[in-house]
Amino acid sequence: MAEFDYDLFVIGAGSGGVRASRVAASHGARVAVAEEYRIGGTCVIRGCVPKKLLVYGSHFAEELQDAAHYGWTVQGMSFDWNVLRDTVLRDVDRLEAAYISTLDNNKVDHFHERAVVTGPQTVTLASGREVRAKTILIAVGAWPVMPDFAGNELCITSNEVFHLPSLPRRVVIQGAGYIAMEFAGIFNALGCHVTVVNRSETVLRGYDASLRDRLLQITMARGIEYKFNSPLTKVEQQADGSLMVTAGDHDPFGADVVLVATGRRPKTAGLGLERAGIVLGEGGEIPVDSFSKTSCDSIYAVGDVTDRVQLTPIAIREGHAFADTVFGGTPRATDYEAIPSAVFSQPPLASVGLTESQAREKLAGAVKIFTADFRPMKNVFAGRPERGLYKLVIDESTDKVIGVHMIGPEAPEILQAVAIAVRAGLTKADFDATVALHPSMSEELVLMR
Ligand code: NDP
């Protein structure tokens, strides 16, 4: 009898776990993965992918409105939430099937049940079966945080928002981070009244202040209401089924759905890691070294469960690097420099490198800032007052572009390419020497003087 059932047993078939499984298998390892919910994980099943489809779906409201300026007559325009929701959920099914095929094609066994660690090289499945593996990878991701307040059981999180039985008339969103700002944009565009309530007085902490101000201005003009310094304290059900919400010192106000988006915590509860001697961090995260190895030599962890950077492409890179390191004979660590990120708010914003305030602090003020504050041609033509804002942060001593921050139509699509320049250490002079691509919004990046 072989000493181990598998060379690698992965717990969690999300972005990081599936990538690690398939790459380890391609290096010749015998691999199995266990998933208690659906293959694909947060990003595919109830995160990035269905969210982006809802952003696309809701964006038609703006496009159809603007179409009149271009000579189109759109008659009998109406929107059916059930159609969008069901089409999105069908696409999620399609993607889940594609992920399962990837595992099958790479001869990775998959168990559709919960698995917990019962020793440094053993996991036990919900069915009671014990599996021995030479290496275990934990890739179970994170789970929405639900703050403690009266009536929080009446609220939903991003897990449930994709399944709403109907489009709510009034949506209250607690939190002002990624999920809150993206869903505020979606529901606002679909015609719901949106109120964002946050415990502090800021949105999107961590993004450049100029972009955050611009997003706030534009979204307020679009009708989103904000209540700052006002965490939710109570949610009550009314006789008619609607909700009554109390936030901060404000008078209670009505809502049909309350979405709580107050961060995501590593999903390590009950995973049995203590049985392998692993001590969790303060937020429940699994501490790992730069090769994603835990304090137990046979157990590794990647993705949101390690709480390094909670982004899908990072989990994928960590999973890939782990598989190459342990099974491919090419040890490598993930590089966290100049990670581009975006918020698919409406308008979207995107960013890479240091913000203006981070740069001023790090370089003791030796920073040059260039901005382009412009009204995109398509907005001018459609009579939309909304302006885009691009900002370049330059290290004055080297002329290197160390930060690019953008808000405006298609900002994430444009920023991906600019991130290459920032990573490559290009200078403002390199940007200036690049001929503008006219007419485009992105030409602003090379025209700032
Ligand atoms: P974020 O960390 O982005 O935002 C959390 C928000 O909730 C903040 O506004 C914060 O307030 C507030 N908050 C935090 N804790 C509490 C609390 N206990 N009570 C009340 N308010 C609180 O989290 P999200 O849930 O929006 O998203 C989770 C993660 O998912 C993100 O960190 C991101 O990595 C990922 N994600 C990425 C996306 C993308 O790349 N486009 C899209 C969606 C999610 P304040 O900061 O003011 O203190």
Together in a domain, 251 and 170: yes
- Residue 420, SS3 per DSSP: helix
- Indicate the residue type of 287: P
Closest CA to 36 of 263, 261, 259, 270: 270
* Rounded distance from Cα 263 to ligand 1 centre (Å): 4
Together in a domain, 405 and 358: yes
Together in a domain, 134 and 167: no
Together in a domain, 140 and 159: no
For range 273-284, the mean pLDDT: 98
Instruction: Please say whether the beta carbons of 142 and 266 come within 8 A.
Output: yes
Domain boundary among 327, 351, 379: 327
Instruction: Please say whether the beta carbons of 367 and 395 come within 8 A.
Output: yes
For range 198-218, the mean pLDDT: 97
Domain boundary among 226, 244, 262: 262
* Rounded distance from Cα 248 to ligand 1 centre (Å): 19
Together in a domain, 127 and 196: no
Instruction: Please say whether the beta carbons of 219 and 188 come within 8 A.
Output: yes
Give CA–CA dist 271/310, Å, rounded.
20
Instruction: Please say whether the beta carbons of 296 and 120 come within 8 A.
Output: yes
- 206 lies in some domain: yes
The predicted model scores a pTM of 0.97
Ligand 1 interacting residues, C-beta cut-off 6 A: 147, 175-180, 182, 198-200, 202, 205, 231, 261-264, 310-311, 341-344
**Ligand 1 atom nearest residue 309's Cα:** 34
- 54 lies in some domain: yes
Total domains in the fold of the chain = 3
Q: Which two tokens stand for residue 250?
A: 């404000």
Q: What angle do CA 21, 26, 27 make, to 5 degrees?
A: 100
- 1 lies in some domain: no
Together in a domain, 173 and 281: no
Count CB-CB contacts under 10 A for residue 79: 15
* Rounded distance from Cα 262 to ligand 1 centre (Å): 5
Together in a domain, 129 and 159: no
* pLDDT tens digits for range 355-399: 999 999 999 989 999 999 999 999 999 999 999 999 999 999 999
**Ligand 1 atom nearest residue 304's Cα:** 34
* pLDDT tens digits for range 404-440: 999 999 999 999 999 999 999 999 999 999 999 999 9
In sequence order, the 6+-apart residues with CB closer than 8 A to the CB of 19 are: 315, 316, 319, 320, 323
212, 258, 264, best to mutate for ligand 1 pocket (most atoms within 8 Å of CB): 264
- Candidate from 2-6, 113-117, 265-269, 439-443 with smallest mean pLDDT: 2-6
Together in a domain, 251 and 286: no
In sequence order, the 6+-apart residues with CB closer than 8 A to the CB of 360 are: 367
Together in a domain, 378 and 442: yes
* pLDDT tens digits for range 222-243: 999 999 999 999 999 999 999 9
- 333 lies in some domain: no
Q: What is the pLDDT of residue 365?
A: 85
* Rounded distance from Cα 404 to ligand 1 centre (Å): 22
Together in a domain, 292 and 393: no
Reported confidence tier of residue 1, pLDDT bands at 50, 70, 90: low
CATH code for the domain in which residue 386 is found: 3.30.390.30
**Cβ-based burial of 231 (10 A; exposed 0-12, middle 13-18, buried ≥19):** middle
Domain boundary among 327, 353, 373: 327
Whether 400 has a pLDDT exceeding 90, the answer reads yes
Give CA–CA dist 143/264, Å, rounded.
5
For range 287-311, the mean pLDDT: 98
Residue nearest to atom 13 of ligand 1 (CA): 262
- 89 lies in some domain: yes
Strand partners, 136: 9, 299
Together in a domain, 242 and 372: no
Together in a domain, 438 and 305: no
Domain limits at 413?
341-446
CATH code for the domain in which residue 284 is found: 3.50.50.60
In sequence order, the 6+-apart residues with CB closer than 8 A to the CB of 69 are: 381, 382, 383
DSSP labels for 227-260?
Answer: E-S--EEEEEE-TTS-EEEEETTSPPEEESEEEE
- 279 lies in some domain: yes
The set of catalytic residues is 438
- 167 lies in some domain: yes
- Indicate the residue type of 112: H
